[in-house]
Structure 1
């Protein structure tokens, strides 16, 4: 099988040293070729439209158009480049999620972390540019989250989330033995998560359907969901109809 063509990458960063570091890292990265460097948001948009790169390594905090603005400007471009944000700040994770970035790198970027991000960009390009007789409609449901952890930011696939619990103004995503806090409302998550995969059982809890292994009633007659990790989730009175729907009754 022939090798895939090199991923054509445009770098946009207003800090000369940061841009130079990314250029050096790209020169040492397998399967990637630098096609241009922009020093501000306006230039990044113009160069992306002219050069049609496969991917952008895009700083967020830039004068004029910032990286988020650039990503939004290019969202309608066809083919749409994969966007990898590169920043010294983690507070833009939610905004990055909203513009469907494929990855979010914290400065200083490490070579292996850049390689993983470019691999994700390659997957994005292969998926979105594969020939087909009919273009697939974009999903209307949330398919991923960005959350902070000790190493910076982590991408969490929605399908991997076992359950979601509310903690004041935050939601906690539970994935196996780990969990992450994100800044969302329970209502927004209920509306955004695929209802064929997730169900809201309480005003403060959403559970992945296949993580539910059974239901029982407590002494007062209220339903209790038994979950795959051995825990139990009380079902709110307003959500008892969900039990009957899941159980087919």
Structure 2
């Protein structure tokens, strides 16, 4: 396992110590420095060229979002995990392509998951440090979780159901609410992977195991988890496109 060079940037000494302690049990992490504010974080990043920065958001002088934006302009930018006590910066974190967003106090298991996500993200970069492929469609979402905010890969979503002004993302036995519209999601999700079957439902194509007709002749999609999804009359043509009938 290749060691990751890690820089911690946090103006709270106890928080930095906590992150250092969380790193110790994990293999392949090499702490190359600790910065106490945003300006120092940039200086140390240029000196040590870390693979990963554990970056607080609320810091004196230059906040973590500003640091991440500055680093994004560099040829080989490090992966960023934001570690913060505030959840209102999730959208900005998404815009600067943070790999994860951890809420203080950070749980050990959640930290390990974030590090694994960094390794996966770095494996999918080309030698210049850029993603190997860019998609015109949504590839991930930030959603509220008991531990703070969690990043959900679009490809992991089984189905989406509408709940008034919110959309529920279903992944296995778990689900998360996001503030989005069904129309925007339909446009944003890759149509080769997802299909809208109802005004309030989008389903991943390979999560559909079959179709049947109910007593009134309307199509019902049979899903991999044993549940069913009614196909709206306006979307019946989608069934014919998928099945050739």
- TM class by shorter-chain length? 0.7 to 0.9
**Is contact 1:225–1:232 with CA below 8 Å preserved after alignment?**
yes
**Is contact 2:126–2:132 with CA below 8 Å preserved after alignment?**
no
Q: Secondary structure at the match of 2:169?
A: strand
Q: How does 1:78-97 map to 2 (within 5 A)?
A: 78-97=75-94
Is 1:166 matched up with 2:162? yes
Deviations 1:37-86 (A, max 9, x none): 33333433343244321001011223454323332332232222111111
User: Which residue in 1 is equivalent to 2:238?
Assistant: 242
Q: Distance in 2 between matches of 1:123 and 1:14?
A: 28
Q: How does 1:23-42 map to 2 (within 5 A)?
A: 23-26=20-23, 29-42=26-39
Q: Give the TM-score normalised by structure 2.
A: 0.84
Q: Distance in 1 between matches of 2:60 and 2:179?
A: 27
Indicate which of 8, 15, 34 corresponds to 2:12. 15
**Is contact 1:12–1:39 with CA below 8 Å preserved after alignment?**
yes
Indicate which of 64, 70, 78 corresponds to 1:73. 70
Is 1:184 matched up with 2:153? no
Shift of 1:120: 2.6
Q: Secondary structure at the match of 1:33?
A: strand
Shift of 1:172: 0.4
**Is contact 1:163–1:174 with CA below 8 Å preserved after alignment?**
yes
Shift of 1:19: 2.3
Shift of 1:8: 1.0
Q: Secondary structure at the match of 2:59?
A: coil
- Greater than 6 Å deviation, 4+ residue runs: none
**Is contact 2:124–2:132 with CA below 8 Å preserved after alignment?**
no
Q: Secondary structure at the match of 2:124?
A: helix
Q: Give the aligned CA root-mean-square deviation in angstroms.
A: 2.8
Q: Give the TM-score normalised by structure 1.
A: 0.83
User: Which residue in 1 is equivalent to 2:153?
Assistant: 157
Is 1:228 matched up with 2:211? no
**Is contact 1:146–1:156 with CA below 8 Å preserved after alignment?**
yes
Q: Distance in 1 between matches of 2:112 and 2:233?
A: 49
User: Which residue in 1 is equivalent to 2:96?
Assistant: 99
Is 1:47 matched up with 2:44? yes
C-alpha change, 1:138 and 1:88, in structure 2 (3 Å) is same
User: Which residue in 2 is equivalent to 1:197?
Assistant: 193
Shift of 1:153: 3.3
**Is contact 1:29–1:115 with CA below 8 Å preserved after alignment?**
yes
Residue-pair matches, total: 245
Shift of 1:111: 4.2
Structure 2: where are the runs of 5+ without partners? none
